[in-house]
Chain A
Amino acid sequence: MSDQSKKRDAADALARVLGLEEPELSCEECFAQLDRYVELSLAGERADREVPSMRAHLEGCPACAEDFRSLRDFVTDESTNT
Chain B
Amino acid sequence: MTAPTETPSDLSAAAESQRWLEQLSDGGASRDAAVGELHALLLKAARFEIDRRRAGLPHLRGGDFEDLAQQSADDALVAVLAKLDQFRGESRFTTWAYKFALLEAAVKLRRLAWQGREVPLEEEAWSTLAAATSWAGSGAEDAELFTVLREEIENGLSPRQREVLVAVALNDVPIDVLAERLGSTRGALYKSLHDARRKLRAALRERGIELGLDREEER
Contact = CB atoms under 8 A, between A and B. Distances in A.
B170 A16 contact: yes
B200 A10 contact: no
B201 A21 contact: yes
Interface residues of A, number: 38
B187 A35 contact: no
Interface in B151-205: 153, 165, 168-170, 172, 174-176, 186-187, 190-191, 193-194, 197, 200-201, 204
In the complex, which range does the number of interface residues on chain B fall in? 35 or more
Contacts, number: 118
B114 interface: no
B197 A60 contact: yes
Contact of B95 (A7, A31, A71): A71
Nearest to B13: A39
A31 B100 CA distance: 9
A47 B8 CA distance: 21
A17 B197 contact: yes
Contacts of B110: 63
A47 B45 CA distance: 23
Interface SS, A side: helix
B93 to A, nearest CB: 9
B211 A67 contact: no
B91 interface: yes
B131 A62 contact: no
Nearest to B172: A62
A6 interface: yes
Interface of A: 3, 6-7, 9-11, 13-14, 16-19, 21, 24, 26-28, 31-32, 34-36, 38-39, 50, 60-63, 66-67, 70-71, 73-75, 77-78
